[in-house]
Amino acid sequence: METLSSMSTASQTEEENQQEEQHIQNELLLLHSHNHNQTVQCSSSSSPCADTNTNTNTIPLSINQSFTDTETQTEIVMKKKKRLNNSGSNGHSHHHHHHHNGVVLASLMCHFRRKRRLHRHVNNAVELRSGSDSDPFPASSVSASGGSLGRDLWRTSFSELYRGCSNASDKFARANDKTIPNRYLLISTSGGLNQQRTGITDAVVAAYILNATLVVPQLDQKSFWKDTSEFAEIFDVDQFISFLSKDVKIVKEIPPNGGKVLSPYTMRVPRKCNPKCYQSRVLPVLIKKHAVRLSKFDYRLSNKLGTQLQRLRCRVNYHALTFTDSIVEMGKKLVGRMRMKSKHFIALHLRFEPDMLAFSGCDYGGGEKERIELGEIRKRWKTLHTRNPDKVRRHGRCPLTPEEVGLMLRALGFGSDVHLYVASGEVYGGEEKLAPLKALFPNFHSKETIASKMELAPFSSFSSRMAALDFIVCDESDVFVTNNNGNMARMLAGRRRYFGHKPTIRPNAKKLYRLFMNRNNMTWEEFVSEVRTFQIGFMGEPNEVKPGRGEFHENPLSCICEKSGKKAKVVLIPQNETRNRNTSGKEDNMNKDTGEVTDEQSMEDELEWSDMDYMENVNRLQVKGFPNGTESDPNISLKPELPELAEELFSD
C-alpha cells in the first residue's frame, strides 16, 4: 500500500529537495547557536536548569503540531533546546553535552525530514488545518480522491434481496370490528418534527390496543422549537385518515354526543409502556371518562411489540404519514436541483448547535473559550452532573465535529468532487468550524443556497416545515450520513432500510474517537483502513443491526422481508426473522398476534445514547405492578423526567 511519505518522495523535484535541506540546515544552525549560549549559562549557574530525569535522546512529537504552522515548528525546536539545557545541569561535561547535541541534531534532522515528507503531497491532495490551537486533532494530509472501496459507494450490498413488508395479516382485527363506540383517544405530541412523528405513529398503535377512536393528534406548539403549525399544515390529514381506515378509526375532532362535547381527561403514561401497561393504566380511565388525552406523548409505547403491531407502526410511518402538497412540492424542487448538480449526492444531517454541545458535556477543541461559553449554557440544567469530557467521548456519546465527518467520508471513499447537502441548525463556531468540512467537500449546499428566500418564505417561519424540507432531501439522497444519533437520524435510517436499504452512514463514534485522537501517528492509508474496518455494520447494509437492538424506528426488522424466490447466501438472516419466513422466501403467517408481547420481547428496552434525544439519562426503575386505574393513579410515572427544556433540546 502506498504511504503518504512514498507518494511525497515520488513527487519531489530536485529544487524541492534543495529547499528542504536548506530549511533543515537553518533550523539546526539556529538550534546549535542557541544551545551553545545556553550551555555557558547553565555551567555558570548554581541552580539546576531542569529535572535530572530528562532524556535528551527522546524526541516526542506533539499531538497538537500542524504540518503547515511555522509557529508550531518553532515551538518544537524550542522544546529540544530546553532538553539540551537540561543535560547541561546534570553534571555532564561540555564534551558530553556536545555529544548529546549531536544525537539530538541527528534526531531532529530525521524528524524534520519525516514531517516535511508527510506535509508534501501530490497534486490531487488537499491540506487540512484544525480550526483551533487547542484542537486535540492535528492537521492531516488527505487525498482529494476518495480511493477505491472495492464496491459501489452509492448502493448497499444485497439490498435487492429485501423489501419492505407491512401489510396486515388476515387475522389482524379490523377497525370496524373492534372499535368501541364513544371511546376516544387524544394525544399531545412533544418535541421537534421527528420526535412528534414517533408520537403520532405510536398513538395509532395505542388506539388500536385500546379499541378506541383516535382524534387527529395535536402538535407541540410551545416547546423549544416554537412552531405554531397544526397537524394539517405539515401532514396530509386526509391521507392519514383514509390510509389507516381499516386499522384504526380516526376523526378530526370528538363529535358531539347528545348535544354535549366530551371533555377529555388528561393523563400521562410512562415511557415505553407496553400493551399490558395501556390496558392496566389507561383503559379503566377511558371506560369511565370516554375520552382521554395523553400528554407529552413521545416514546410512550414499548420499543418491542408483537410483529403485527410493529407492522402497523410501519404502515403509519412509511405510508399514512405524508407531508402536505406544498411541502412535498418544495422538497422535490430541492432534490431536483441537487440532481442537476450531480448524478449522486450525499445528505448530511449535522447537529452541532451550542445548546446540544453544552448538554453533551463533550470537548470539541475550542479551548478555554469553548469551555466558558458552553459551561454557561449548561448551567440551565441544574440537575446535570459534571461530566468527564474524555470519558463521554470514549463511550461514543459525542457528536462528530464537521471536520471529523468530512474525514470519515473521505476515508470511506468519497472524493472532493462529491456534492454535499447539509441539513443543520446553528453550527457552534460558525464558518470557522465548517471550514475544514468545506475544504474537503467544496461542493457544499443547503436549502438556503439552492433556493431563494422567496421560495422558502412560506416555510422559513416554521421550524417543523423547514425540517420537513430537509427530511425530504435527506430521504431522497443517494447516501445519508449523520454526526449524531438523534430522532431525525433514526427515523431516516429506518425509512431508508424499509425502502430498499439505501446507504445510511452512522458513525461508530466509540471506535472512531480513538482513531481521531491518534491520526497524527499514522499514514493516510492506515487511517483509511481503520475507518473502513470500524464502519462495518454502520453503513445501512441489510441485517447489520443485531435483532432487538436499537429503536424500532431505526431498525424496523419486523417490516423487512426477503423477496420471493431470492436467497441471501452471503447475508445471514437473523434467527428470530427466520422463524417468520417459510422455505419459499414468502412471509409466514405464524405469530400473527394482536398485541401480546413474547417473553423475548417483554425484556425492558436498553437505554442507549440515542435516548439522550429525549433526555432520559436516569436509572431504569423496575416495574413490579401497575396502578389500579383510579383517577389519581394514571399520572404516576415509572421514571422521573428532566425539565422540559432539556427534553426539547434534542427532540429534532
Task: Tell me 153's DSSP state.
Answer: T
Detail the DSSP E strand segments found in 291-389: 291-294, 345-350
Cell of 143: 487525498
What pLDDT score was predicted for residue 315? 98
Question: Where does 136-234 show beta strands of DSSP type E?
Answer: 140-143, 162-164, 184-187, 213-215
Q: Which three cell numbers stand for residue 8?
A: 511525497
Beta strands in 332-473 (DSSP E): 345-350, 419-424, 444-445
Among 225, 161, 291, 104, CA closest to 644: 225
Write the burial class of residue 388 (CB in 10 Å: 0-12 exposed, 13-18 middle, 19+ buried): exposed
Task: Tell me the C-alpha to C-alpha distance, in Å, between residue 205 and each of 192, 200, 302.
Answer: 21, 9, 11
Cell 403549525 -> residue: 229
Q: Contact 377/354 with Cβ under 8 angstroms?
A: yes
Angle between helices 509-518 and 524-534 (to 10 degrees): 170
**What pLDDT does residue 142 have?**
76
Instruction: State whether residue 480 is helix, strand or coil.
Output: strand
Q: Three-state SS for 327?
A: helix
Report the alpha-carbon distance of residue 313 to residue 315 in Å, rounded. 6
pLDDT of residue 590: 32
The DSSP secondary-structure symbol of 520 reads: G
What's the pLDDT tens digit per position in 571-607? 333 333 333 333 333 333 333 333 333 333 333 333 3
Q: How far is CA 245 from the centre of its chain?
A: 35
pTM: predicted TM-score of the whole model, two decimal places: 0.71
Which pLDDT tens digit goes with each residue over 461-478? 999 999 999 999 999 999
Instruction: Please report the DSSP string for 562-586 in residue order.
Output: EPTT---SSSPPPHHHHTTB-TTSS
Per-residue model confidence (pLDDT) at position 69: 41
> In the chain, which residues have pLDDT < 50?
1-14, 31-77, 80-81, 84, 87-100, 103-104, 107-108, 110-140, 568-649
Q: Is the dihedral of CA 199, 201, 205, 207 positive or negative?
A: positive
- Close Cβ partners of 472 (under 8 Å, ≥ 6 residues apart): 323, 327, 328, 331, 332, 334, 335
Per-residue pLDDT, 381: 79
